[in-house]
Structure 1
Amino acid sequence: MTGITLPGGSVVERAEVPIPEPGFGQVLVEVRASSICGSDIRAIYREHLGSGAEAYQGVIAGHEPCGQIVAVGPGCTERAVGDRVVIYHISGCGQCAECRHGYMIGCESESRAAYGWQRDGGHAPYLLAEEETCLILPDELTYEDGALVSCGFGTAYEGLLRLDVSGRDQLLITGLGPVGLAAGMLAKAMGVRTVVGTDLSAERAALAVELGVVDHALSGTDVAGELSSLAGRHGFSAAIDCSGSGAGRLVALEHLRTWGRCAFVGEGGGVSFDVSPLLIHKQVTLYGSWVTSLRHMEDLLELLPQWQIHPDAIVTHRFGLDQAAEAYRLADGGQAGKICLIPTQAG
């Protein structure tokens, strides 16, 4: 079969590999959708960061896969041929404290391996997965819905859970890429009364309004005055940075009210700010949130049909594997919504 690898330098390559056979506790998944994540662009496509959790090992890319099980290995007890599954994109040791709490993303073992980073991912017709990382995709959801939940929507949901958002809140989202769009969509379902988003891209701000995931969207760098007006005299009660930029993080902190809550979920970069006025004197709570847990992802998959939400609403472009280079170039441009590779789709 043909898979997609990312050698760095903004290059996409094709690799011919055999269809794998499942071993003990493993399943073979026919991939129906494999979406592109901003972390793929930042840490693999442009250049290999090469250390820790972001060490790319030259494997088939794609850490947001969803598909149907076509074969099971010995020892599998929970999943069967025909099951539609979302794949939690980290395979952990299952024994450390983080794994036992369902946060395989934080697995402390050297055996930790992320699909698409240290083991083959979803940019191929088939994927070999550990049974314990496969969550059932409800019948009401599409394969693209599932692919988006496997990372981006799960990440947004976890950040909103940390913030404990509800109908009492006005929420500010900095960064209206796919994770920011997901945060807006989920925040509204969780009862947030007003959602305001910002992004450098006018196209992404317009898309957020068009999709109805925010009440107001601002674009550009000079948005402080408009944000202050929208937030009212006291500021936003909660903010989530999905931009991964220092400027976005600073905007999120600056427009919080006293006793506000802020979550950073956007990866990469840094931020510098005056701690006393922005954090200490305002008694702000700042959370770092990294992906989500197996339990929370399973909860989200159950809630989406109840909320009548389809994550695939934010997909703006779909490509076959033979168009992967074009798909990655578009994703790197930072103007589109979510981009999905469909392994069964021909160019």
Structure 2
Amino acid sequence: MGETMTGVYLPGGSAVRLASVPVPVPGPGQVLLRVGASTICGSDLRAIYREHLGAGPEAYQDVIAGHEPAGTVVEVGPQVRGLAVDDRVVVYHISGCGRCADCRLGYQISCTSPERAAYGWQRDGGHAEFLLAQARDCLPLPPELSMVDGACVACGFGTAYEGLCRAAVSGADRLLVVGLGPVGQAVGLLGGRLGAPLRIGVDVSERRLAAALELGAIDHAVTVDEADDAIAELTGGAGCEVAVDCSGATAGRSLAVRGTARRGRVVLLGEGARFDVEASPLLLHRQLTVHGSWVTSTHRMAELLGLLARWQLHPEIVVTDRFALADAGTAYRLADAGDRGKVAIIPN
């Protein structure tokens, strides 16, 4: 281990800056990880890479980017219990205060304390050779799963699983997925493992529709223009019992609502834009339940890691491109093009 390492910063304006910084030393309750993989999230692109849009929880504080890391413990700080050198872990990407009701439930994402800091947003993230993490944010990575698998779970697959659990998806539920980026692909893949007998995917990109079909994330690929008629035809006019919007677009959310069966459940996962539907005819009269779902909890993420190992489902199948740390600029440009799968940075 050297005294310095390379870190990736996102100054805005669709730029990437690499800098040499000291390798951190773990303090009480902290561990130092050698990063095995760190994937790029759509939220990074939307709120940091293009321009710094965020305030509050989404405010970028000029730290090393990357909030989807997995790695191996190389040094343990004082007062750490349950972690040792050579342990493989996934990092839950928000470090909360650890004391509030949300943190005690494992939903550090919802912590409102000034101490709350997201990796890659307000504290250094995974786009570097090493990462300083709070031990309580680290979840064991099963030996059956790769580092890239773990990085995909750190946000995207964890977010998808939380949404499906909120809707209690089972073999009784046909599933509509609107938006087939990496999170949408994760929703389809996990929904199939949870028993959904029919999975319909909608996207504006023919490439992403084809990729989702090839991965086995959906059973039917539908373009936006034909979506309403196709959903009706595939479900005998009833719609799907569960619809998950991963597009984050106002039109996508409206489509998800329209494609949901009476007394069905709608889950909103995609960030941004507005939720704008006619309440009486589309929600009230059809008696729909709408869930807003933001990331997941440490408990749910740990549960998912165990299920993935049992199912022999590898999240890395949604990764289409892998880059070295030195090529982070190329990685972000490709991810921002919007028609690829998950893009991973492999620092070591």
Q: TM-score, normalised by structure 1?
A: 0.98
In structure 1, the residue matched to 2:200 is: 196
Does residue 44 of the first structure (1) align with residue 48 of the second (2)?
A: yes
Note the aligned Cα RMSD (angstroms): 0.8
Q: Which residue of 2 aligns with 1:108?
A: 112
Counterparts of 1:8 and 1:278, CA distance in 2: 39
Q: Distance in 2 between matches of 1:299 and 1:18?
A: 35
Which of 242, 249, 274 is matched with 2:246 structurally? 242
Residue 164 (str. 1) matches residue 152 (str. 2): no
Counterparts of residues 85-164 of structure 1 (less than 5 Å):
85-164=89-168
Q: Hey, what's the Cα distance between the residues in 2 that align with 1:221 and 1:159?
A: 26
Post-superposition offset of 1:220: 3.9
TM-score normalised by length of structure 2 = 0.98
Q: Distance in 2 between matches of 1:223 and 1:186?
A: 22
- Identify the residue that residue 316 of structure 1 maps to in structure 2: 320
5+ residue gaps, structure 2: none
Cα distance in 2, alignment partners of residues 257 and 187 from structure 1: 17
Spell out the pairing of 1:270-281 with structure 2 (5 A cutoff): 270-281=274-285
The alpha carbon displacement at 1:308 in A equals: 1.2
8 Å CA contact 1:172–1:196 kept in 2: the answer is yes
For residues 228 and 44 of structure 1, what CA distance do their matches in structure 2 show? Answer: 39
Compute the displacement of 1:221 (Å). Answer: 3.5
**Match in the other structure for 1:187:** 191
Q: Which 10-residue stretch deviates more, 109-118 or 228-237?
A: 228-237
Asked whether 1:302 is paired with 2:306, we answer yes
CA drift at 1:223: 2.3
**Distance in 1 separating the partners of 2:235 and 2:152:** 30
Deviates more, 1:51-60 or 1:264-273: 264-273
In 2, Cα distance between equivalents of 1:17 and 1:268 = 33
Partner of 1:254: 258
For residue 121 of structure 2, give the secondary structure of its aligned residue in structure 1.
coil
| 1:2-47 alpha-carbon deviations (Å, 9 max, x no partner) | 1100001111111211000000000000001000000000000011
| Identity value in percent | 57
Q: Which amino acid aligns with 2:318?
A: I
Conservation of the 8 A alpha-carbon contact between 2:228 and 2:258: no
Per the TM alignment, residue 271 of structure 1 is displaced from its structure 2 partner at its CA by: 2.6
Report deviation, 1:228. 1.6
Residue aligned with 1:13, SS: strand
Letter in 2 for 1:259: R
Q: Could you tell me which residue of structure 1 aligns to residue 32 of structure 2?
A: 28
Report the count of equivalent residues: 344
Letter in 2 for 1:172: L
Structure 1 residues 86-118: Cα deviation after superposition (integer angstroms, max 9, x where no partner): 000000001111101100000120000000000
Q: How far off its partner does 1:273 sit?
A: 1.2
Q: Any idea what SS the aligned residue of 2:85 has?
A: coil
Q: Which runs of 4+ in 1 moved over 2 A?
A: 219-223
Task: Give the residue type in structure 1 aligned to 2:21.
Answer: V
Q: Return the alpha-carbon distance in structure 2 between the equivalents of residues 295 and 229 of structure 1.
A: 39
Residue identity matched to 1:107:
C
Question: What displacement does 1:159 show?
Answer: 0.1
Tell me, yes or no, if the aligned pair for 2:176 and 2:201 is still in contact at 8 Å: yes
Deviation at 1:305, TM superposition (A): 1.2
Q: What is the distance in 1 between the residues matched to 2:12 and 2:291? A: 31
1:327 aligned residue (319, 331, 335): 331
Matching residue of 1:267: 271
Q: 225, 230, 237: which is aligned to 2:229?
A: 225
- Can you list the C-alpha shifts for 1:58-82, whole angstroms capped at 9, x where unaligned? 0000000001000000000111100
The answer for the alignment partner of 1:215 in structure 2 is 219
Q: Which residue pairs with 1:57 in the alignment?
A: 61
| Preserved contact between residue 202 and residue 220 of structure 1 (Cα < 8 Å) | no
Amino acid paired to 2:286: K
